Structure 1
Amino acid sequence: MPQTFNTPADYVDAAREMADAGRPALARLLAEEAADRTPDPNASARILAEFPGHSLQREG
């Protein structure tokens, strides 16, 4: 069954899967998307802290 992305938690779960699979850049992108969709700034910061690195999102 394909994975659906309806909540920030879905993105975090996928980010963890990518991190476990050795794909840190994709994990970071998914974490950034989760953080962007999380209304609580503290929760967003915790998500990004779990997946360290520079932002990989494109501007614009």
Structure 2
Amino acid sequence: MALFTFNRPADYLEAAREMADSGRPTLARLLAEEAADRTAEPEAAARILAEFPGTSLRQEG
């Protein structure tokens, strides 16, 4: 497993891909959502979320 610093959207995306590859789709989706939120371009954010399909699992209050 790689060590992540989570300073950039790409860090979250890399972690999401690793989680997906290791059979953790829920964690992968949450990390992808965070990457998308931190991405300035709406088109790029949409592409990130499309790579990890599903509905949001966040519990925001």
Q: Return the TM-score normalized by structure 2.
A: 0.93
Gapped regions of structure 2 (runs ≥ 5): none
Q: Return the TM-score normalized by structure 1.
A: 0.94
Corresponding residue for residue 51 of structure 1:
52
Q: Can you list the C-alpha shifts for 1:2-56, whole angstroms capped at 9, x where unaligned?
A: 3200000000000000000000000000000000000110000000000000101
Gapped regions of structure 1 (runs ≥ 5): none
1:7 corresponds to 2:8? yes
Q: Which 4+ stretches in 1 moved above 3 angstroms?
A: none
> CA-atom RMSD, angstroms?
1.1
Matched residues, percent identical? 75
